[in-house]
Structure 1
Amino acid sequence: MLDIVIDSRQAAISEHIRVKRILPFRQRRMVGPFIFMDHAGPVTSAPSPISKMDVLPHPHIGLSTVSYLLGGKVTHRDSLGVEQVIVPGEVNWMTAGRGIAHSERFEDPTVLQKGQLELIQTWVALPEKEEEADPAFENFKPEQLPVFTDTGIWMRLIAGNAYGLRNEVKTLSPLFYLHVVLEAGTRFALPQEHSERGVYIVRGALETGGQLYREGQLLVFTKKSDPVILAKENCTLMVLGGEPLGDRFIWWNFVSSRKERIEQAKEDWKQGRIILPPNDNHEYIPLPEDKSKPAGGPNPGLLS
């Protein structure tokens, strides 16, 4: 049965990009280790120049960002010197650990001509013992990610394990993350391997427990329940969850099990101790004005 239904809210990640923000939510901060979820697009119009859409270099600690495109193209640059053009179907997993900065640039105007740009970004909180790990970035091509098909069902395993599927994406705690496409009339059951499970409706409408739910909603199910999901229309879903890690503080782009670590990260960014991407270091986003404390509730700020 359902634990909670979260309606996405509007947020901005740059001057010209608005997103549906799903996590964190006041009544539900996390699903398994997933502490943040944004859905950008499809983007149907762009400013001139397209660079006005860019998300400038900004910092992270204590989490992994998982960038997954449904359409378009984004260029990632980070403190490690990585420059990666992200395209649909790939998994781009950046572990911030003790601190990293990265940018997300939109450098190919052709992807916006037909509203092709669409991005899902999640953050996975790190286990306490990994919060100060060395930063890292990995890119996984679609052919490295297992796909399962059956009548009316297509799914790709982005990370973790579910339905007997596994891949080489390195995760630091038990979780699963799937891209699922259902044809109208198809029934779908959630994996039983994990205690916390959520279904985000990217497109379409589904029914469960006799109720209808539509795009932009995240359905979080209670532990040990065995819900049946019926696609009322053709659906695109992101299905995710895993095992809880315990409470986390979140402020702007920082996540930690310790409030004082958030305060240190603020000072580290102000003092330049988190290195900018060497191939994108001429501008950056300054620390926002601190209008709330990390213990006072979620405040992810303006960026992903």
Structure 2
Amino acid sequence: MEKRSDKAAESLGFVQGFVRMCNDGWLQGWHERNGGNLSYRLTNQEVAEARPYFGEPRSWHEVGVELPNLAGEYFLVTGSGKYMRNVILDPAANIGICELDESGSRWRIVWGLDGGARPTSEFPTHLMNHSVRKQATDGANRVIYHCHATNVIALTYVLPLTDRDFSRALWQSATECPVVFPEGVGVVEWMVPGGVDIARATSKKMETYQAAIWAQHGLFVSGPDFDTAFGLAHTIEKSAEIYVKVLSCGQGIRQTITDDDLRAIAHDFGVTLNESFLD
């Protein structure tokens, strides 16, 4: 029988932050059944703190792509088939730390995911996007989060599936949006989840954006820490909810935040808006 991971590892700060974010997403209603997933790239200090709790390393598995800028890195990740609502009850059974090899092409579990569990089936998508966001932010981004944000999904049935249309709708629905994601959001048309194709399509969007919307599926965001990444997802979903409610009134949009208003917000808050999305 497999030896259970040392429970003391669950008291580490980054593990507690990860667990809280999983539970926060569950409380928002974004993680029905085993929907959604989360991963975090550890700092060197966090690896050193966690290392005493590592068990005997398990078998290596292929990522499916080679990610040299992630070689030797460690990731805390949710498990395949695991429910976000259970993470807070038993972290070691539902999440785990995985190590990438020296080529960035294979991973193995070093802590957690007890009882023969494996990382989320979308782990390759997470890793490819960690690679892109690490490069795009000079190493600052460490969190990749996927959730089934209800109103974001609803909008993918009624808005044109373009970066411009979604970015404008979200910017104009809540004043803080141009400040939180001034570059806009990317949109990926419906694809089968969990494979290399959707991973590549999402990674392409994440070269430019902090967030990508998966049509009829959900939201995919990045950030330097748990608060920032969760806050980004929360802001996008709140704006989408406002837009859905406006459409539901059946009166059409009589007034909105104009493009000049958006420019004024950007000027006063010192951010650079994606001008290609403005008229």
TM-score, normalised with respect to structure 2: 0.26
Q: Which has the larger radius of gyration?
A: 2
Where relative contact order (Cα < 8 A, 6+ residues apart) is larger, the structure is: 1
Higher helix proportion, which one?
Answer: 2
